Amino acid sequence: MVHVRPPLVRLQSYVPGRKAPGATLLASNECPYGLLPGVAARVADMTTGLSRYPDMGAARLLEALATHHGVTPDRIAVGAGSSEVCGQLLHTVAGPGTEVVYGWRSFEAYPILTTVAGAAPIPVPLRDHVQDLDAMAAAITELTRLVFVCNPNNPTSTAIDEAALRAFIDRMPDHVLVVVDEAYREYADPSAVPDALELFGDRPNVVVLRTFSKAYGLAGLRVGYCVGAPELIEQVRKTQTPFSVSALAQEAAIAALGEQEEVARRASLTITERHRVTRELRRLGYVLPGSHANFVWLPLGEDSTAFTDHCLDNGVILRAFPTEGVRITIGLPEENSAFLALAETWRARTAE
């Protein structure tokens, strides 16, 4: 019988947001507004050439990203979504006999990718739905090679401010790579949530992770990237699966970078709806933290699955984390209203 590594046998698989024909999908933190106009036009133009391999080095995309961030292309590595880039970073610095620290609950892929890389995952419990940076710092050992800081945090929607993040990074030993995952950066209040690339971009042991899957609306095309020190990025690029970022994805991402005003407009619409959903949930008596992402977090504990099932039975799909909470993506206004109506009927039913 073929031998399978024991850690993989024990590992829980990634759980994607559910899909169902005709349902309102508020489970996967997707942008509800469709492709950006420039992206749609570029995709429509690419009817030829897709039978050929894409540029494995993604040179044009690297140049566009470098211009966008005001850095040199040798500081950027790309992958098929930020999930693959997380894996690339892990394979670069971690492995058997090493440890990876992250707050928990956080992005579900962190423990999976860490285990696949052969390292030991070290989850550190959140405090009041926020990553406990003091406890995470205390968990660092000589075996630690990487620490993930998801800011804003998925799925709890909370964020770490500049002073706390700066103090944490200042405490990190040189042998620990700090990966600041900013997948939801465009939805965060810039006065409250720091731009890690701007603050720590010159540090050799800090990498900032970004994605096109959220505010840029390219979740189905899979483009993510990280920005770090050139000597590290050179090694990170070696771990990318060859040709993982398709030609279509590369061109779509380049076009998306040219749509900054529309990206900001759509993010603003989502933020406005996020405020409305939060306000209405609190009016109904729900307790939830303030959100800096394109979703909100309901810490319903043991009621999480039942609440999600109630919504599913009525055509609205949410993301449950059993015994912990429910993550609700902010969708179109009518989708959010449909969810809020179900949240109200649930509240009335459970109050009987």
User: What pLDDT is stored for residue 16 in this prediction?
Assistant: 74
Cβ–Cβ < 8 Å for 208, 197? yes
Residue 1 lies in a domain: no
Same domain, 250 and 293: no
Rounded to an integer, what distance in angstroms lies between the CA atom of residue 244 and that of residue 242?
A: 6
CATH number of the domain to which 291 belongs = 3.90.1150.10
User: What pLDDT is stored for residue 236 in this prediction?
Assistant: 98
Same domain, 239 and 188: yes
User: What pLDDT is stored for residue 352 in this prediction?
Assistant: 63
Same domain, 62 and 75: yes
Residue 240 lies in a domain: yes
User: What pLDDT is stored for residue 18 in this prediction?
Assistant: 74
Rounded to an integer, what distance in angstroms lies between the CA atom of residue 96 and that of residue 91?
A: 10
User: What pLDDT is stored for residue 14 in this prediction?
Assistant: 74
Same domain, 16 and 50: no
Rounded to an integer, what distance in angstroms lies between the CA atom of residue 65 and that of residue 210?
A: 11
Q: Pairing between strand 177-181 and 24-25?
A: unpaired
Same domain, 155 and 285: no
Residue 24 lies in a domain: yes
> Among 94, 117, 77, 91, which residue's Cα sits nearest to residue 233?
77
Structural domain ending residue among the three candidates 232, 257, 282: 257
Q: How many domains does the chain have?
A: 2
Q: pTM above the 0.85 mark?
A: yes
Grouping H, G, I as helix, E, B as strand and the rest as coil, residue 192 is coil
Instruction: Give the long-range contacts of residues 11-20, CB within 8 A, separation 24 or more.
Output: 11/111, 11/112, 11/115, 11/116, 12/112, 13/112, 14/108, 14/109, 14/112, 15/108, 17/317, 17/319, 17/329, 18/312, 18/317, 19/317, 20/317
Cβ–Cβ < 8 Å for 131, 103? yes
Same domain, 233 and 303: no
Residue 105 lies in a domain: yes
Same domain, 122 and 252: yes
CATH number of the domain to which 246 belongs = 3.40.640.10
Same domain, 104 and 16: no
> What angle is formed at CA 214 by the lines to CA 210 and CA 215, rounded to 5 degrees?
95
Element (H, E) at 265: helix 260-283
Same domain, 265 and 249: no
Same domain, 225 and 285: no
Same domain, 146 and 222: yes
Segments forming the whole domain that contains residue 182: 37-257
Structural domain ending residue among the three candidates 229, 257, 285: 257
Structural domain ending residue among the three candidates 241, 257, 273: 257
pLDDT tens digits in sequence order for the chain, 352 residues long: 887 788 877 878 777 777 777 899 999 999 999 999 999 999 888 877 788 899 999 999 999 999 999 999 999 999 999 999 999 999 999 999 999 999 999 999 999 999 999 999 999 999 999 999 999 999 999 999 999 999 999 999 999 999 999 999 999 999 999 999 999 999 999 999 999 999 999 999 999 999 999 999 999 999 999 999 999 999 999 999 999 999 999 999 999 999 999 999 999 999 999 999 999 999 999 999 999 999 999 999 999 999 999 999 999 999 999 999 999 999 999 999 999 999 999 998 887 6
